[in-house]
Structure 1
């Protein structure tokens, strides 16, 4: 790329949705680690018991942010299981709650299980995910895309 190039269009959208965490010492390591743990959420995890151990260890080393109570419960996936049972009406309410009510018609066929698959598409094929959001699902502006991805992230926190 050229020096001082500022990406726009699809490349700008992809780069704008990325989170950069600086571990080089400009901010406290514990703070950076807490941000990384929050960003990763449950992605890539296989064993829920390991999740509880990791969360407890992060709390013990003072990773900064307090560990959510849901991660310390005997059933750490209760909240996720609840969203998997959502109906199309629940998804419409979720869109309204996240200031995305104008996109209810585009997501009218989505239920909790399809939202979960959409999360999978985001991690497996991010370029396709963002292209579909902007071309097929009607999210034309960066704020709309960012609001939607934030809401999607918050489903599993």
Structure 2
């Protein structure tokens, strides 16, 4: 990734292709101290990337190869959620038990936010600030069956609007 590449049509086309084909994306950081933003941040924000500036080329290639060979996680059953999630606070030794409805359809906005934050998806929590369970299911279906270019454009516009507030 680099600023110049992010602005190119190739970057957007590759992201669209990977998104449409449900391919694994392994970002490669080529520009020192580059921080993706907008639509690119939305797509790769939670992904593990290989920093070619941080490691020697041979080590970076090893990491890239390892990441490409890693098994793909499959989340086909989006409605299956463990009814009790446990979170620990750093100040207390007691374990807090947060209970979510088994069916995501019944989640409130607060439960969606709590779940995203608990799972270190803080960027997503900001973008999905007003989403409840029904909205998440709708978004999932729309992303799975909608037009890729339209979805990417909407995500880019929404992420820019929300992060610039």
TM-score, normalization: structure 1? 0.41
Give the structure with the higher percent strand: 2
